[in-house]
Amino acid sequence: MRSDPGLTAPIIPAPQLPANSAVVTNLIEDLAPFYDDGAAGLQRLISRIPLLLEVDRAYIARLSPDGVRFTVTQASKGDWPDLLGYTQSSARLPAFARGALKTGVQATIDDALTFPFTPQQRKMLWYGGLRGTVLTPIRSGGVWVGALIIDVLKQQRIWDFLVLDACKSLAAAIGARIALAKLGDHLVSDDRDPIHDMERLNVMANVARLLDSSSDPGAMSAEIVEALAGLHWVKSARLATNDGDSEVVQAAQASEGLVVTSKDGNTHVGIALMNEGERFGGIDLELAAASLTDVEEQFLRCVQTFAGSAYVSALRRARPRNETLYDSLTGLLNFRSINEVLVDAVHASKSSGRPVSVWLLDIDRLDGINRDHGYAIGDDVVSYVGHTLQTVVSTRGSVGRVGGGLYLALFPGMDHEEASVQARMMVERVTKNVPPHLPQIALSIGVSAFPVDATGHDDLVRFARLALYSAKSGGHNRVITADPKNPRWVSDARAAFVRTVTEQQMPVSLQERR
């Protein structure tokens, strides 16, 4: 573990920024160092937002712990009434604001003059003279604690996606800074052991470095786990994936927080790694003691906030450098890259005599999902299946996205029979663990193997495609294994090809498409 004894090492929340947004990056990097006054750092940030985002006013409003009051804690200055300290009952806020604070969904108003405010709401100080606004909820410590709000007062504003994304990035940084301030309150209190405080500071300094520089999500996660394992009150730490290899992490993901369980005399803490609702697995800690102290719990919540952001930040740094190799939506190898891997694998198989098996997997009725639920949900479905494939396949082979909902996976050293068994397990894994916001998903998989089915990589994919046509023609969630030496199977597969293409369930050829 890297040790960084510097007590003033800045903790820089991971920006999730639109392209060419150096302005927002500078804002976030100006947030106060670890022992600086957090409120002062946030006030500096808020004061700079109007000029840099070309708005008239910016402020942070916080919910009271009981959720009853909504109070402005930091506000920019200008030629209008000062909002700092202004408070209102949460119940009196407009429905769009209450909904945003409850669900965490960003809310915008392009023209407040036509917005259906009640007469009483228009008299509220923050809505008087308002023309347009963006309310971006702030999440800290696993709960929605308030909002970053920007306003225009002089003229109507059509909010572009760059400003909206910038607000989300800033809100994420503010939430992380709030969590960090709470942790700092614990660490600087007189009753803490300074040696143990230094342990926690070293972990946070390490996470801060990863937030700022890591471009390898896997290595970043492993380094955070290694740092946590070095704490004196942690017996062991390990990464857990999304596919259910840790019950305590599964429970943590369901609750979007920390979960503590005790079994057979061992106490485990599950930390869900998440960012904006997307799950990246988690960390399973076994404690040396029977329970967490309040300070340890607060510290782990802070780690959770930063670790999820660090993962996404590393993922986004890695992708631009590899955009010619990887699919932008799923992060898997793209069509050209997986085809090159396949050619190399078949060539190696010819030399070694070991088999190579492939899956050609397609999401059934993806066009219907896009039509009925929208393309954003369709993209989430494609991403979910891709992430699950990567988790399953990465230890045995390679996988790429070769079409809209079409994936090619290859397994060096795996024979025909085992590839079919694993494919059926894959269908079950994907269809039984669908995230709650997605519709039900069905898959079809065609399986073929070299050299038993094919003499080269082209034939290997061609027979897998024919097997896939047969699977889709026969229903949903089916796995069909190629049998090209059987004339009846080839004839039936070709007939299935005609039916499937006619019904527009599949493209005629493998090609990159969205």
pLDDT tens-digit map of 74-115: 899 888 878 888 888 888 899 899 999 998 999 999 888 888
pLDDT in tens, 321-351: 555 678 888 889 888 889 888 988 898 888 8
The predicted pLDDT at position 17 comes to 36
- Residue 200 pLDDT grade (very low, low, confident, very high; cuts 50, 70, 90): low
Give the residue with greater pLDDT, 38 vs 273.
Answer: 273
Its CATH architecture, for the domain 335-502, is 2-Layer Sandwich (3.30)
Is-contact 459 453, C-beta < 8 A? yes
* % of the chain exceeding 70 in pLDDT: 78
The predicted pLDDT at position 509 comes to 45
Farthest-apart Cα atoms in the chain, separation: 83
pLDDT in tens, 278-318: 677 788 999 988 888 877 887 788 777 777 777 777 766 66
CA distance 50 to 324: 38
Edge-to-edge strand list for the sheet holding 258-263: 234-240, 278-287, 266-275, 258-263
Q: What are the residue boundaries of the structural domains of the chain, listed by start?
A: 22-185, 192-321, 335-502
CA distance 299 to 461: 50
State how far the alpha carbon of 500 is from the alpha carbons of 144, 420, 436, 506, in Å: 47, 22, 29, 6
Section 66-73 average pLDDT:
88
CATH for 192-321? 3.30.450.40
Is-contact 492 471, C-beta < 8 A? no
CATH class of 22-185: alpha beta
pTM over 0.85: no
pLDDT in tens, 344-355: 889 888 888 899
Q: Do domains 22-185 and 335-502 have the same CATH topology?
A: no
